[in-house]
Chain A
Amino acid sequence: MFAKRTLPTIIAFICGVTVVFAYFINVPFIQDRAQSILRWQAVIAVFALGLGAVNIIRVHVSNIQRSKGQNFYSLALLITFAITILVGVFLGQNSTAYKFIFDYINVPTGSAIFSLLAFYIGTAAYRAFRAKNVEAAILLLTGCIVMLGRVPLGAKILPVSVPLTDWIMSVLNVGGQRGVMIAGAIGFIAVSLRIIVGLERRSYGGE
Chain B
Amino acid sequence: MKISTDIGVWIGALAALGIYSVLIKDNPFYRFVEHVFVGASAGIAVVVGVNTFKSTAWSPMTVEGDYLLIIPMIAGLLLYTRYFPNIAWLNRIPLSFLMGTSAGVAMRGAIESQIVGQVSATMINLNSIDAWIVFIGTVTSLSYFFLTWKTGKVTGVTSKLGRYFMMAAFGAAFGNTVMGRVSAAIGRFQFILNTWLGL
B40-72 to A contact mask, C-beta < 8 Å, 1/0: 111111110111110011000000000011011
**A53-B42, A188-B110, A205-B95 known; A80-B141 Cβ under 8 A:** no
Tally of A-B residue pairs with Cβ under 8 A? 406
**How far does the alpha carbon of A206 sit from the alpha carbon of B68 in the complex, in Å?**
27
**How far does the alpha carbon of A82 sit from the alpha carbon of B42 in the complex, in Å?**
10
Contact B182 A118 (CB under 8 A): yes
Q: Select which of A15, A83, A168, A183 is within 8 A of B97 by beta carbon.
A: A15
Complex interface: chain A residues within 8 A of B107 (CB): 16, 20, 188-189, 192-193, 196
Complex interface: chain A residues within 8 A of B40 (CB): 80-81, 84, 101, 105-106, 109
Interface residues on A, range: 35 or more
Complex interface: chain A residues within 8 A of B94 (CB): 44, 47-48
B: which residues have CB within 8 A of A? 8-9, 11-13, 15-16, 18-20, 22-23, 31-47, 49-53, 56-57, 68-69, 71-73, 75-77, 79-80, 82-83, 89, 91-108, 110-112, 114-115, 118-119, 121-122, 130, 133-142, 144-145, 162-179, 181-182, 184-185, 187-188, 191
Given contacts A37-B101, A38-B101, A193-B107, 13 further A-B contacts (CB under 8 A): A12-B100, A42-B52, A43-B57, A44-B75, A46-B50, A76-B32, A80-B40, A84-B40, A84-B42, A111-B188, A142-B175, A147-B179, A171-B130
A: which residues have CB within 8 A of B? 3-4, 7-9, 11-20, 23, 36-54, 56, 72-74, 76-85, 88-89, 93, 98, 100-119, 121-122, 125, 134-136, 138-147, 150-151, 165, 167-186, 188-189, 191-193, 195-196, 203-206
